[in-house]
Each structure stands twice: as C-alpha cells, then as structure tokens.
Structure 1
Amino acid sequence: MICLKRNSLLSLVASLSLFTVSFEAFSGQFEPSQSDFGGVGLMQMPTGRSAKDGSFSFGLTFNQDYEHYHASIQLFDRLETTLRYTLLPNRRYSSSVSFGGDNKYTDKGIDVKFKLLDESYWLPETSIGFRDLGGTGLFDGEYIAATKRFGSVDITAGIAWGYMGNSANLSGDEHLSDNECGRVSSYGGKGGQLDVERGFTGCVSAFGGLEYKPSGLPIRLKLEYDANDYKGDFAPLEKAPQSNINLGVIYELSDWGNIRANFERGNTWTLGFTLNTNFNDVHQVWFNDPHPIYAPSDSVKSWKQTQEELTRFSGYRNVSLYDDEGDISVAGTPSKYRNIDVGRERLAATLLNRDETPSSITITERVKGMPVTSINVNGDKLKQVVNQEQVGLRFGDAYKEMSSFTKPTDSSLVGKSYERFTYGLSPALSQSIGSAEDFYLFSLGIAGNAAYMLTNTTEISGSVHLNVFNNYDKFNHTIAPGDSTQLKRVRTLVRQYLSNKPLRMNNLQLTQFGKLGDDVFVQAYAGYLESMFAGVGGEVLFRPLNSNWALGVDANYVKQRDPSSQFGLFSSPTIFDERDKRTYKTQLGTLTGHVSVYYRPEWAWFEDIELKVSAGKYLAEDKGVTVDASRQFESGVKVGAFATKTNLSAEEFGEGSFNKGFYISVPLDVLTTYPSTNRTVVSWVPLTRDGGQMLNRSYHLYGMTGSRYKRSEYIY
C-alpha cells in the first residue's frame, strides 16, 4: 500500500498543474518517449536514450493482461528513475478472500537507468538499466542498450537479461527455473529488498527497434523486436503470443502529453497516455506588487507609512524598525519570496526612497523570534545598484553577511508590528494507493490550524481535522495475514485514527524556541505532538553560517494516543481488535530520538543535492539508521527518497522488509499567480508498517534555518 499525505487539497492538483504551467506553443521537437512500463523506451523494450535533466512523466498503459501506472523522472543528466504500480486483472490480490476480496493483484516496481555514453557523430547514446529492482521481481531484468539517430529515425539495439530476455535467443535454457533459464525467481525476506544475486543471470537475448517521427506531424511510429516470449509470466495471459514484432503509434497532444496505441505479441492491443513536464522549466507569471523604483520622496514619510510599505513590497511580517542616526535596522520574518535576496532588495529599496540615503541598512531575518541571518547593506553601494552605475552590479555586491547579531537599543525603535495570533482553514486529503481492500483509499476533510505567540519565542499551537468523507472503513485487516503482531502498533492503527471520529484533534502543543550563541538553535515542546502520539521533547541544531553541513539532535518521550478518545492515551499494553479478531500491542511510553547529520555536497556533477543521515531509536523501540537524499530543481521542486534499516529482521518488520518511501515537494508559487514561501508535499510510502517510524514533529530547525546556507532556498 502506498500512502500519500498532503497539507491541503492543492496537493491533489499539484501534479496535474505542473504539466501545464510551464509550456507555451507545441514545439514538436524529437524528445524521447516513454515505454509501456514507464521510463524512456520503445514499447516493451527500453532504449539507450535518456530524457532531459529534470523531465517528469506520469502515465498509464493497459491491455487485457496488465495495467501499468508509472511515474518517471530524470533525476540527473545520467540517471533516470521510475516508480510503477502494476495491476493484474486475471489474478486476485490475496489467496485470503477476507483480506484481499476480489481486488486485482497489485505489484510495485522501481527501475533505474544510467547513461554511460552521450551520442556523438560515430557513437550511439548508450545506457545500462535495471527493471523492477527489489520487491517480488515479476518483471525484473537488466539490459544494455544503444540508440543512434539518423535524421527522423532513432534506431536501438541491445542485450537483455531476465524477464526482458526470456526468449533466450542468445543463450540460456528457458526450460530451467520456470522458463527463466535458471535465474533465481524467489525473493529475500518479505520482499522490498535488492536481490543482487539475480543480476545479469538467466536468459540472455538481443532486442532492437526504431522510432520514427515524421517532420511536421504530431505522431510517432514505433517498431520493436520483443525479446520476451512471455512463457514465464506470473499473469495468466488470455492469448498466447504469436509474434515477437510489436507496432505502435503515439499521437502528441502537445508538449504536455500524448496518447498511444500498440499492437503487441501479434494479437494484443495496448493503449495508454503520458503526461510530461520538466521540473527545471516549471514557472508561473505572478500578479505581484511592482519592484520599488528609486525615487526619493520630496517629503519625509512617517515611519508607520514606511513600515506598511516594507510589508507590502518585501513580504516581511512582524517587522521591528530602528533608526540610529541614519543607520537603519530592520528585523522581521520573510513570508513572501522563496529567494530571500528578492525580499531583501525590495526592503532596502523601499527604505532608500524614504527621504535620504541611509548610511547603512541592517536586515535581520527572524523565525519564531530566533535571529537566523543578518546582512549589512552599504547605503552608497545600494544607490549605485539601483541606479545601475556599473554594468553587472547586483544587490549582492552592496551587502555583507554578519556572523553575529547585535540587537539595536530600544531607544532607537521607531516602528513595530506584531501579529500574535494566526489561523487558517484549508481542504485536506489523505490517500493510500495499492492496498488490499481497494486500490485507492482516501480521507477528504477540512483542516483548521491556529497559533498564538505568548512571547516572541513561545508559541501555543494546535490543529483539528473535520472528516467530510472517507472510505477507510473498507479495511478488513490492519495487518496482512501471516505478518508479525509482535511489534507495537505505532502506525498501523491508521484505520482507527482516520475513521473513528468526524472531528479529531491532530495537534495541541506548547513550543519554546531559542538560541545558544550564534550558531546553535534550540526548541522544546510538550503536548499532543501529532495525531498518534503525545509527550515532551526537544531539538538542538548546530548550523554554522554558510556551512554546507549541520548537526542536529532530537530527544522525545512519547505515549500513544487512544483513537477512541480526543485527549486520552492508551492505558493497557494490549488491545483486542473485534474486527481483526487479534490482540495487538500498544506503546505506553518510550524514549525516541535521533542524531542527524545534514550535508549539501558542492559537486559540479551532482548539483543541488541534500543528504540527511539520522541514527537513533524509533517509535516501536527498534534502533537503526534513516538515509534521506533529495534534489532541488531550478523551479524549486524537490524530489527525494528515504530508506530506514533497523535491527528488526525482515520477518519481524513484515511485507516490504524495511521502511522506505519517496516524496515530491512543490512550491505553491509555481501553481498560483502570487509569490509564496509555502510548499505542498506529495509522499509515497509503499507499505505502512510499524518498524522504522519516526515521530512527526511540527517543527524542524534545519528547515527553519535554510537561509544560513547561500545555495539553500529559503523555504520557511
């Protein structure tokens, strides 16, 4: 089961919106197209091609035997990754009717492709790839493919192992090991692991094909020699294959998508569509307040008027203004522009227009009352920048960063605005894809949140969720038959938390923020910390200014909340589920926390990468390590993956063997017509299990202090 969580309903349309906001007229360029399985390819077979860096596609292909839902992204120029869900109409999800019912068998797969050679005058573009890594390996195989373009024709030749090469036209006895030429078909543990011993074994076959794009026409034609004979397929095919030649046509609707029809195996029609975008090119036109033009006022403006203009043009809120004989200081919270220098330049330009050029302007960014970064702008240089007195002079040339913070004297305070109470309402959607009871489960509701700053650094905050409609009552079991019941049920009671009450309190906590010196940030919190746990905890983060690394520690003592009560906690170490007819363990109290290292490599060949490694104790009292890696593209869209391995065995953990998932973080200002620092996150977790689960804390100091690293987008 894949779980997707979103902060608001905007996340529901985020993916589809990305396919349209960045494109203008249809270009008709010869860009690589997707295969039936997702990822650049012909139909059943891959090619040596890779898409442009940042390309993202989502698609569906289906025939009478298979339904493939796939998403593919070119993470780097030389690395393509694909996530796929496959439904088998002719097989049931489980042999247990009470567990899977009549639902179709569902398989998850991950593919990766590495580009080895770029195309040149003499050499083809060449790649090596791995299909269906880990999991049950229904379609697992490896290949090396080379593709060369001749005018409007792309010609591909390659060698495949495993599922793609099951015809064994080069080597292998296909009668061995269920028609797989002796290749190991079983998988380790409970699935979800990399079974490297299977790699480049079994049947070996040659494959090839071509793709032709007629000039000026929105179609592509494909011809393919399929190296699979389908004798070892897990799905019972309705028709035995009659040919290895596949034919296909793609009709391009525009740059954002296409539809396709293939005639495969000599007797099977396969239909589908693909939506495309590029995360480096996604952009939006904003209806925004114009940038202040340098035009000093003839009359002296009041500080109140200046303060209002600062908030309007720069997006800084909770502003404090100080004037010390021409040296102006401003402290506030950026809330409008993801690029922090955009807000800074607008703020400085507004002050420059007040009456006369200030000697200097000190701008300090505060988050929850904590000074995070500070710059000192030279008034004369700023005037040169706005007047463009030198070619290429930029705002960054007019200021220097300050490593320490000096609070101005209270006597120099000339203006202050502070909103202690904030609140908001938004649609909320929780989803699960690929569960046994239904391929798509969801909970639609309204989320309300509010916060009140008791002091500049002390906050009381809370959130509630009003359930409008959900189908989580379709859950027949919360644990699959045969899975372990020895772990404490820290996450797999999701059915009870989502469906028991129409109105539920997700969070209610008191938080204290602070600093210990210039580079150490701290927070302490207590209350109902998330929808499933209550307790106390704290976090300390050491993050030097302009350093590409940081070190953090969080420690918490938590107890599990009782889903049948708004404020209650479990009081018994076990519960008996009347629906499942099984006894489960609960978490009556545990210490949980992690030591985390954050690192931003400054490698030319791997740009905008962020790595996070956390080691510690998890909610089910297992101990281990979580590795999180992500890349941020030029539009601000961030794509990442994580994996957690603890001291639980695969049998103790259950199906999937260890916790893992993927996520896409989308800036809302690429979907709307107004700049914003807010984001929405779409996350995929293949299976919800109790092992390797962290506490879902409301605040993370690393994200709140993003402006301390020059190349880090300011996202708070």
Structure 2
Amino acid sequence: MTRKYGSVVIATVIISWPLAALANNLTTTVTNNFGTPGGLVDMPTAEMAPEGQLSTTVAHYDGTTKTTLSFQVTDRLSTSFRYSAIKGLIPEPGRPPFSTFYDRSFDLSFRILDETQYRPAVAIGLQDFIGTGLFGGEYIVATKSIGNKLRVTGGVGWGRLGSEGSFGKTGSRPTGLLGEGGIPTYDRWFRGDVAAFAGASYAVTDRLNFKVEYSSDAYDREVLDGIINHKTPWNFGVDYKISQSARLSAYSLYGDEVGVNLTFAINARKPAVNGGVETAPLPVAVRAPGDHNDLGWTQDNIRQSNVRTAVADGLKTEGMALHAIELDSRSARVMVRNSRFDMRPQAIGRTARVLSRTLPASVETFTITQVVQGIPTSSVTLRRSDLERLENAPASEMLQAVTFSDALALRQPDVLQPDAYPRFGWSIGPFLRFSVFDPDNPVRANGGIQFRGDYRIGTGWVASGSVSVKLFGDLDKVSLPGASGLPRVRSNVALYSQTDDPTIDYLTVAKYSRPAQNLYSRVTVGYLEKMYAGASAEVLWKPVDSRLAFGGEVNYVQPRDFDQLFGTRTRQTSGGTVPEFNGHLSAYYDFGFGFHGQLDAGRYLAGDWGATIALDREFANGWRVGAYATKTDVSSATFGEGSFDKGIRISIPLSWGTGQPTQRRSNTVIRSLSRDGGARLDVNGRLYETIRNTHEPETAKTWGKFWR
C-alpha cells in the first residue's frame, strides 16, 4: 500500500470508528514539537490544555530550535506564538544559506465539537497564519479517547500538513516566504494539496506517555535545502511528567533525527498559594438590642474625636488610610485610601468591619468612598444591619445588599484628615528591560536598580519620579534598522541604553480631577518617559456601573537627550522631524466572560494615523493575557520587519504568587523590535486603568473577597 493511500485509510478508520468510550473533556498538559497542546509528536490533535494554562515549550533537534508560548484562552480556543531558529536555510536559489534564520509564527486552534460516548472531539486550526509562512498549514482533526489511557487521532491538513502523501487538492496555494512576515496568510488558508495524518498516545502511568504518528508534513523546504533527510513519515515519542509544571519529551523524527522538548506550564486560574496568607480580619461587631437608640455621642465632641481616631487606627492596622470622615446620628461617610488590596472588595469589606467595631451603635448606614490619585471614584453604601446579618452568608448575598454610586452623586466629607496631604512614598528594587527578535541576537536585556518616589502635594496633585542605574546588559547593541522614511521615534532605542550613569526614567507633576459625574481628567507635565518630555492631557467618561468607557488624549512631546537627564534634543532625526502633537480617541468595553477590549484611534509619535485594537483574557485573580495590533497609514515595506506593530502582553499580580495582598504587578510585553510606525507615548497614570478596578463591573467579579 502506498503512503498516499495508507494515510487516507488510517485517518478514515480512526475518525469513523464508532469507539464506545466514556466521554471526557480531552484536556492535556502535553505539548507537541510545535509547542501546541496535544499528545503527538509533530501533528495536531483535538486536545486542549486546561483553560487558563500558559505554557512555554523549547523544542530542539539538529539545527532547529523552536520556542513557543501557548495560552488556552477558553476551554475551546488555544493560541500560540512561536520563535524558531533554523540553521542552513537558503533564502532563495543561488544565495548562500542563512547562518541562522529566525522566524516568528502564530497558531490558532478551535475545538468545534466536544467528545461524546461515540463521537470524537473535532478541532480546526491554523498554523503559522501570521508570519512568513515557513510553517504554514491548516487542519481539521478528530481525537477520541478509548478508556482512560488511549487516545487516537486522525485528520487532514493543507500547506505543510498536506505535503506528505497528498490525496487531493483544493485550489492553488502560493509557496514562497512572505518577505518581512507579520501579515495574515489568508490567501493560503485551506488551499493546495490535502493529505491525511493520524496518531495515537498511550498513558502507561500518570507520568509516562508514549506516542506514535503518521505525519503529513514532508519537510519539503528543509529537505530541499539539505537541512534534514526525510526517510519515513512515521514519528515516535515518549513524554515524562517531571512535576505539575514541567514535562520532558523525547522523539524520533522522519527516521533520521532525534529531538527533545521541555515544557513549563502554569495556570492563570489557579493561585500559587491557595486561600491567601494574609492576616484574617476581625469579625463584625454585632450591636446589642436597643443600642442603636443611644444618641448621646452626638453631643460629645471628645467622644466624636475618639471615634475618628479609632477608625483611622483600625484602617491603618489593615494597611489602609482614612482620608476623610463625616458622621451624623444615623450614617457615616468615609473616604479611604487603599494601597494594599488589589482585590477592591477586600478593601471595602475590611473597611466595613472596622466601622462596625468603631462607630457608635446608632450609625446604621455606611458609605465607603475609594480615593485614587487623590480623587474620589466610586462609593459603596450598605446597611450595618445587613453586615451583621450576612457575615456568615455567601458574599453574593452581600453584593445584592449594597449600592454602587458615583462619588460625586453623594455628599462627601468636607474636612480631610490632617495626614491626607502632603505625603511622600518611595520604593527601591531591581529592574529588567527586554528587547527581543534582534536579528543579531534574539534576546537582549538591561538590568539594574530602580528608585521610585511620589509626593502627594494636595487633592489630585501628584509629583512622581524614577531613577535607574544600569548594572549589566546589552540593549545598547540592538541593531538600528535602515532608513524607512519615518522619523526615528523608537528605533534608536540603543542610543538610550548606552550610558551606565544614573538616568531619569520619568519626572512629572500630574493633576487628577473630577469635572463632573462620570467624568475624570488628567494633566501631566515633565519628563514623561525615557525618550520624551512634554505634556499630556486626558479626559475619560466612565459611569460607575457601566462596562463601556470613552476617552481622549492629546500630547505635546519633545525628544529627550540620550543620557536621559534634564536636556532635550532637536526634533530632527535621520528619518525626518518628530511631530509636536499626537493623541488618540479611545473606547473600552468589558465583554463579560473574562474578555476585555480596547480600541485607540488617532495620531502616533511618528505622525502616522491609524488605530490599535487590543483584546485581553482576564481572570478574577487579576491575571491578564492578551494581544494587540496597530495598523497605520505606514505601508508594510516602510514599517520594516514584522509589517506592522503587534504584540502579546501578560500582566501578573504579585499577590498571585505570594498569597499576600498587594497592588504591584509584573507586566511583560512581547513585541517585535522597536519600530517607528504605530509607536505611542508611554505616559504613566492613564485614567482608565487608574479608576477601573474601583467601579462596579470590575468589583463584582471579585466580590467573593469581601469577607476575606
């Protein structure tokens, strides 16, 4: 039987065989040679990783290394970003081979059918659908479990996955590499030769797994360039689970190569420390019957002063601060500064407990207003009797009993606490800055020590700054791209990384205000970021109960000197003149189900006009994993490598890893080399992220922390 018809028979039998077995969700923590979820060697399966899993796989065989970041966005949707290094690839006939060819690619897999007792799970996928097309391929695949140990897979593929033993064709398919890459290869999807693939995996133990596959990838390009010797379409592998977060695999490829891959995985939905390790709050103080009629304290100034002191001390014990308080016989209005709890319901709940233990018994209504950057954002009003009644009930019942309001819709205390202003805060710690995908060195970085400080001058007034000292690194060796016709607004990043002397990252004065209900504003002046000084003004419309927000920002900028001290330089660069003004109109929307979108449209630093779209998958514990893409009126050729600006961003709350509440986060953006097209000013304290977590839609997501 020929390879061509043998593959068809194998795939057909596996897909159509009525295998009676208990259905499961076909999740796996195994990744294949391409770093995507699946229990085979090269071929895809209909298996998915557990929802929220973020994995990094490094796979290597002779001359080729693939590093893949995969994220299970939902239980059905998996995405992957891959960075490959291939030695000896020939760019085109007659030219010498690359010493090492670096390639970026994106994958997408969606499970359209779940497994049932008799039906396999079915998934459809795109491999390298945004990139040069080197690994480009599409597939439809089915996977069925037989018992608890055996899983069988069969499917059909196009592109690379249709190059071995093809049995048909669906139109013509371009075969060349796509220049700078970064453009969706939609003109190739599900076109060209079609071939079948199949495979099986068997779990010997809960740690050890064997796999075999019939591959439909003939490795045509690598064979043509003499990189590999493809002897057989059969691949074999073994996988071993080192720990819950690490797996090691070894495999043989096409009868000629032996390779290994190592996978590290964490799950954004699962905390590193279960339950948290912060000190438990004090219980709610329940009033005795009849105490609420005691109004004598209202005529006793000393007693009122003692109450204010007790509230301030109680909040201080919880790591928060009393900003202002106003009392009357039946109600209390408090303004609170929370610099500790990243889960805002936890701050509200602990404030309510403090009030129950310190306020006179006659006070029935609590209004708790959160103050951020010196301005009131949202207010939560609750009844003390509900707090007493529901302390041991589910937090959802307490959520139904509270009311969210715009802070300006309610009367707030007029007199601030004596320590409200001025205030000084500071921190010191290490920093690490990355640059990836430099053709001469895929990863470069600088590291050192960073000092940050802020001075709260008065209501809404914040002076802040940061100074860094580089201790090591090679960002000063990042390649300078060729002339593009655009002013060099970002591509001269190496020139900003040359000095080993202390540098000013930013030094600004900002004014935050509340012009009216649902409106917020910010004006920032000074050294806005490491490359630009100037002024930035912003306004935001965001109702406290709305998932939708709109904003606008305008910036006046002046390029800073490369030593990043107090000087500025001319706007003239080798690529043109840096425009004075840039800015954007923005829309933000919480789609629900953990998805959040943002659209920014306007003028970028280089004077180009366009838009940025971003989508993030967000989890209740604070994890965020997302992607963005920017397209402007700059052509792909002018932009350079990557064709347009895009990237992956990961934001991890430090509380997730330590179990201790903190508002500090680790933010990572994986993008192509710094280019000039689609570049945006990096100013601190933009309004939406500043106030968003205090509003009802976001607070409701983590309301389970109210009683913690």
TM-score under structure 2 length normalisation: 0.87
Per-residue displacement from partner, 1:5-45 (whole Å, max 9, x unpaired)? xxxxxxxxxxxxxxxxxxxxxxxx97352110011231111
Shift of 1:637: 0.8
Shift of 1:107: 0.7
Greater mean deviation of Cα atoms: 698-707 or 137-146: 698-707
What SS does the aligned partner of 2:389 have? helix
Q: Which amino acid aligns with 1:305?
A: A
The residue number in structure 2 matching 1:332 is 336
Shift of 1:410: 4.5
The residue number in structure 1 matching 2:87 is 89
The residue number in structure 2 matching 1:460 is 463
* Partner Cα distance (1:456, 1:94) in 2: 64
Counterparts in 2 of 1:684 and 1:92: CA distance versus 1, 3 Å: farther
* Partner Cα distance (2:64, 2:71) in 1: 22
* Partner Cα distance (2:268, 2:394) in 1: 32
Per-residue displacement from partner, 1:381-410 (whole Å, max 9, x unpaired)? 222123x4x788743244222344444454
Among 242, 250, 261, the alignment partner of 1:272 is 261
Among 405, 424, 439, the alignment partner of 1:436 is 439
Shift of 1:572: 6.0
* Partner Cα distance (2:629, 2:399) in 1: 39
Shift of 1:374: 0.5
Matched, 1:500 2:503: no
Counterparts in 2 of 1:715 and 1:538: CA distance versus 1, 3 Å: farther
Counterparts in 2 of 1:263 and 1:149: CA distance versus 1, 3 Å: same
What SS does the aligned partner of 2:130 have? coil
Tell me if the contact between 2:163 and 2:193 (Cα under 8 Å) persists in the aligned partners: yes
Higher relative contact order (CA closer than 8 Å, sequence separation 6+): 1
Shift of 1:350: 1.3
Among 90, 101, 105, the alignment partner of 1:105 is 101
Q: Which amino acid aligns with 1:435?
A: D
Among 32, 35, 46, the alignment partner of 2:32 is 35
Q: Which amino acid aligns with 2:130?
A: G
Shift of 1:191: 1.9
Per-residue displacement from partner, 1:609-657 (whole Å, max 9, x unpaired)? 1111111000000000110111102432101111111011111111111
Shift of 1:452: 1.0
* Partner Cα distance (2:185, 2:443) in 1: 29
Counterparts in 2 of 1:715 and 1:489: CA distance versus 1, 3 Å: farther
Instruction: Show structure 2 runs of 5+ residues with no match.
Output: 1-25, 289-296, 298-302, 703-708
What SS does the aligned partner of 1:453 have? strand
* Partner Cα distance (2:701, 2:491) in 1: 31
Q: Which amino acid aligns with 1:83?
A: F
The residue number in structure 2 matching 1:426 is 429
The residue number in structure 2 matching 1:76 is 74
* Partner Cα distance (2:284, 2:695) in 1: 29
* Partner Cα distance (2:360, 2:155) in 1: 71
Tell me if the contact between 1:544 and 1:708 (Cα under 8 Å) persists in the aligned partners: no
* Partner Cα distance (2:53, 2:394) in 1: 35
Greater mean deviation of Cα atoms: 264-273 or 182-191: 182-191
Shift of 1:105: 1.8
Per-residue displacement from partner, 1:136-190 (whole Å, max 9, x unpaired)? 11110001000000011100000011112212431359xxxxxxx9631235563
Counterparts in 2 of 1:410 and 1:627: CA distance versus 1, 3 Å: closer
* Partner Cα distance (1:338, 1:648) in 2: 40
Per-residue displacement from partner, 1:531-587 (whole Å, max 9, x unpaired)? 11111120000011211100000011111112146222222624xxxxxxxx44352
Matched, 1:447 2:438: no
- Percent identity reads 28
Aligned positions of 1:5-44 closer than 5 A: 31-41=28-38, 42-44=40-42
* Partner Cα distance (1:79, 1:247) in 2: 27
* Partner Cα distance (1:512, 1:546) in 2: 25
* Partner Cα distance (1:409, 1:559) in 2: 41
Counterparts in 2 of 1:275 and 1:224: CA distance versus 1, 3 Å: same
Among 313, 316, 326, the alignment partner of 1:311 is 316
Shift of 1:91: 4.6
Matched, 1:224 2:227: no
Q: Which amino acid aligns with 1:36?
A: N
What SS does the aligned partner of 2:311 have? helix
Matched, 1:615 2:601: yes
* Partner Cα distance (1:232, 1:171) in 2: 20
What SS does the aligned partner of 2:464 have? strand
* Partner Cα distance (2:254, 2:178) in 1: 32
Matched, 1:349 2:353: yes
Per-residue displacement from partner, 1:176-212 (whole Å, max 9, x unpaired)? xxxxx96312355632101211111222110000000
What SS does the aligned partner of 1:467 have? strand
Aligned positions of 1:282-431 closer than 5 A: 282-285=271-274, 286-295=276-285, 302-313=307-318, 315-317=319-321, 319-354=323-358, 356-357=360-361, 358-386=363-391, 388=392, 394-403=397-406, 404-408=408-412, 410=414, 417-418=420-421, 420-431=423-434
Counterparts in 2 of 1:235 and 1:567: CA distance versus 1, 3 Å: farther
Counterparts in 2 of 1:714 and 1:493: CA distance versus 1, 3 Å: farther
Matched, 1:281 2:270: yes
The residue number in structure 2 matching 1:705 is 691
What SS does the aligned partner of 2:581 have? strand
Counterparts in 2 of 1:48 and 1:258: CA distance versus 1, 3 Å: same
What SS does the aligned partner of 1:703 have? helix
Counterparts in 2 of 1:311 and 1:396: CA distance versus 1, 3 Å: farther
The residue number in structure 1 matching 2:583 is 593
Shift of 1:69: 0.6
The residue number in structure 2 matching 1:140 is 136
Shift of 1:264: 1.3
The residue number in structure 2 matching 1:170 is 167
Tell me if the contact between 2:268 and 2:623 (Cα under 8 Å) persists in the aligned partners: yes
Tell me if the contact between 1:296 and 1:355 (Cα under 8 Å) persists in the aligned partners: no
Counterparts in 2 of 1:470 and 1:391: CA distance versus 1, 3 Å: closer
* Partner Cα distance (2:608, 2:600) in 1: 14
* Partner Cα distance (2:457, 2:701) in 1: 24
Instruction: Show structure 1 runs of 5+ residues with no match.
Output: 1-28, 174-180, 575-582
Tell me if the contact between 1:103 and 1:437 (Cα under 8 Å) persists in the aligned partners: no
Greater mean deviation of Cα atoms: 111-120 or 393-402: 393-402
Aligned positions of 1:461-610 closer than 5 A: 461-475=464-478, 477-479=479-481, 483-564=482-563, 566-571=565-570, 573-574=572-573, 583-587=574-578, 589-602=579-592, 607-610=593-596
Matched, 1:159 2:156: yes
The residue number in structure 2 matching 1:204 is 194
Counterparts in 2 of 1:495 and 1:129: CA distance versus 1, 3 Å: same
Shift of 1:287: 2.9
Q: Which amino acid aligns with 1:478?
A: L
Matched, 1:661 2:666: no
Greater mean deviation of Cα atoms: 351-360 or 676-685: 351-360
Shift of 1:234: 7.8
Shift of 1:104: 2.4
Tell me if the contact between 1:703 and 1:715 (Cα under 8 Å) persists in the aligned partners: no
Counterparts in 2 of 1:103 and 1:518: CA distance versus 1, 3 Å: farther
Counterparts in 2 of 1:352 and 1:186: CA distance versus 1, 3 Å: same
Greater mean deviation of Cα atoms: 336-345 or 350-359: 350-359
Shift of 1:223: 0.4
Greater mean deviation of Cα atoms: 217-226 or 672-681: 672-681
Tell me if the contact between 1:153 and 1:210 (Cα under 8 Å) persists in the aligned partners: yes
TM-score under structure 1 length normalisation: 0.86
Q: Which amino acid aligns with 1:596?
A: S
What SS does the aligned partner of 1:232 have? helix
What SS does the aligned partner of 2:488 have? coil
- RMSD of Structure 2 on Structure 1 (CA): 2.8
Counterparts in 2 of 1:597 and 1:410: CA distance versus 1, 3 Å: closer
* Partner Cα distance (2:414, 2:654) in 1: 38
Counterparts in 2 of 1:33 and 1:677: CA distance versus 1, 3 Å: same
* Partner Cα distance (1:244, 1:519) in 2: 63
The residue number in structure 1 matching 2:203 is 213
Tell me if the contact between 1:189 and 1:651 (Cα under 8 Å) persists in the aligned partners: no
* Partner Cα distance (1:290, 1:564) in 2: 48
Q: Which amino acid aligns with 2:33?
A: D
